[in-house]
Amino acid sequence: MSAVNGIGWFQIGTDQPEEAERFYGGLFGWTFDAAVPGYRIISTPDEGGLQGGLADTGGQGPNHAVFSVLVADTDATCRAAEAAGGKVLVRRSSAAGIEIAHLLDPSGNQFQVFTPPVG
């Protein structure tokens, strides 16, 4: 399983790439490096974890994000996301001891955060 604030491969497509970098960089400590024009590689604090990509849609396609982030505290992360300009769609639900919340970033991209069972 990923480390806290780590993820599997993902892609974010947005017509506001600078805003997405500010939001995700501030919330999770992610960094962004240019790959090719309009696409940046995203690295997370999860040493050895999978990377992702940030695609500038230029308004030519829908904003999208598909990923789930392991966090230390689902509720605290929801509060931090709201403070950073995001929205919480589903504050917290539980399934098999896993706490899950569905969020929106400032561009309207949906993603999930989760905390695994203790023990």
- Pick from 36, 50, 21: which is nearest to 109 by CA? 21
The string of DSSP letters for 14-76 reads ES-HHHHHHHHHHHH--EEEEEETTEEEEE-SSTT---EEEEE-TTSS--EEE-EEE-S-HHH
pLDDT in tens, 4-42: 887 756 889 999 999 999 999 999 999 999 878 889 999
In angstroms, the Cα distances linking 94 to 27, 100, 116 are: 23, 6, 10
Any idea where the domains of the chain sit in the sequence?
6-114
Residue 43 in tokens: 């690295």
Q: What 8-state DSSP symbol labels residue 3?
A: P
Record the pTM.
Answer: 0.69
CATH number of 6-114: 3.10.180.10
The residues, any chain, with a CB within 8 Å of residue 22's CB and separated by 6 or more, are none
Name the band, by pLDDT with cuts 50, 70 and 90, for residue 51.
Answer: confident
